[in-house]
Amino acid sequence: MSASAALLFQGGIGVVGLAAIWLFDIPLLSGGLGLTEALLFGVLGAVVTYLLLLFLTQMSWLFPDDLTSQMQGLYDFAASFRWPVLVALSMLAGVGEELLFRGAIQGWLLQYTGPWTAVLAASVLFGLVHYVSFTYFLVATGLGLVLGGAYQLSGSLELVVVWHAVYDMLALYCLLSYPHWFGVHR
């Protein structure tokens, strides 16, 4: 996939999310976090979440299949781009996927269900969209639960956008810089 196609795809997710929010008049949660707090807690949340995931992936019994092949595929994809493109992809994924999954889907579901049902359903959809294996689905759904819960508790879409974007950047940095952590070969 070319850099422009990847960037266009990730940007398109945000456009779909914004369009759904506008078209269905979905109210966004509004909390008491300012931009500085959203940035601070988003970065902190991303680092803690990523470290927890690294710790959990060391427990092979916790996951029904091996993540190595998925990580190899992700490594091969990421290694084909320069860092400015990877940073842009991470930022667009943070903005786009959070607008779609937390803003539009979770927000729409909040109008018809309880808050935790909305978080769970949006998280499962997030996991399904990221499905490459059952284990990867579980990891993505877990991340969706964390992000959905953070959005629900904070009322800050900015928080989860930063959290998601920084998480993706951190994950790509570690994968490309330390592939042996994941059993990946350069």
What are 47's two structure tokens?
């680092």
What residue spans define the domains of the chain?
Answer: 33-182
pLDDT surpassing 80 at residue 163: yes
Note whether 102 and 151 are within 8 A (CB): yes
pLDDT of the residue at 102: 97
| Residue partners of 4: CB distance under 8 A and separation at least 6 | none
Q: Which residue has the higher pLDDT, 31 or 94?
A: 94
Query: In angstroms, rounded to a whole number, what is the distance separating the alpha carbons of residues 42 and 182?
Result: 25
pLDDT of residue 62: 76
170: number of Cβ within 10 Å: 19
For 115-144, the pLDDT digits (tens) are 999 999 999 999 999 998 888 899 999 999
pLDDT of amino acid 5: 93
What's the pLDDT score for residue 164? 98
Cα(107)–Cα(91) distance, rounded to whole angstroms?
Answer: 21
The 10s digit of each residue's pLDDT in 62-74 is 777 777 778 888 8
Q: What's the rounded Cα separation, in Å, for the pair 70 and 78?
A: 12
Summarize the confidence of residues 37-57 as an average pLDDT.
94
| pLDDT greater than 80 at residue 14 | yes
Kindly state the tokens that stand for 56: 């959990």
The CA distance from 18 to 54, in Å, is 32
d(CA 99, CA 93): 10
Query: Which of 14-23, 67-76, 94-103, 116-125 comes out lowest in average pLDDT?
Result: 67-76
In this prediction, residue 58 carries a pLDDT of: 78
- Residue 29 predicted with pLDDT over 90: no
Token representation of residue 31: 């909390």
Provide the token pair at 63. 């996951």
Asked whether 9 and 96 are in contact (CB, 8 A), the reply is no
The number of residues making up the chain comes to 186
The answer to whether 182 touches 78, Cβ cutoff 8 Å, is no
Tell me what the pLDDT averaged over the chain comes to. 92
- The per-residue pLDDT for 71 is 83
